[in-house]
A and B are shown apart, each in its own frame.
Chain A
């Protein structure tokens, strides 16, 4: 009995912190999302119902945020996964300079996204002094420059996706390179003896063997991209609504920044909607992967 009591003592700090900062908030966020007209200063509310959800779903800023988030997800997840697969295949086929390349490719992971985002902004931005690096490059090849930071929507979306891919690549390259390294060489040797063409070796051996890792990356990629936020702030500044580049997570936080404590009810409703979307898509992903992962 004494050891039991002691074991709980070891667990106590973790249980206390998780209780206060994870379990209680989880219940609380549900409560908030149904309390109508919640006032942060007086901590009172006028009624219970679905008003917060309907407010959020009719808010043009929220709809814009949903559109942006979905675009980011649909564009960056396939592109970054595919590119990472290509690069990892390249990496595992060379011997010279491999360590150097791996180190370089990993660098974006250990940098502060806010700080490097500023560099991207300067590269893409048009100012009074200069058209910016990227625009000069475009003009050099005969195109017309465009302000990627404060210009048309597609240009902003392009920088956004470009930067997102730049940021998420290290993790994907790392995972795929180690997955490729763990494929048993025996399969390749057998295929080579049979004179199997390269492309066939790739689709019949490599892809099936690393398919669990690809699905893992797609699932985490979806989840990560749905939560996009600080990359946007890095490029377009904190007022994302004005830039028209807000994301769902950004919308949630903007609801909290407001004066005198903001609107936790609207924030909660939006966060729960996000959770529902991510949860549904993750379940769909898992179902697809269960039917397709071959080992």
Chain B
């Protein structure tokens, strides 16, 4: 059995705005790019039975998630003419209002970048073994359910 090393996508805690800005800046040398598409997932403070979500605590089955992400990445590059794609997902606690998912696709033209970005976000939500535990003000919690 081969255990290939796959690209890491997980970061501890929230994804900071300076990290996102730096990622954009790094592409200034890639002058064939004409369009970037960025999706940012933000932790929403839902209310459930009068309890307010203050944070989401993310866990994953990392070996499987990275293998699956590798498959998704290959599928997307085969389908769309992208120049590059970067994906970051938080693990651990992310407070309401902070960023927990950053998907960044770049292409020569906008359509490919936008379509690929949207498709990757959908696949991440549907196929990656990641679980979010919504933590409430009173320290109780509930496991998040994604709308499919």
Q: A and B: real partners?
A: no
What residues make up the interface of B, taking CB atoms closer than 8 Å to A?
none
List residues of A whose CB falls within 8 A of some B CB. none
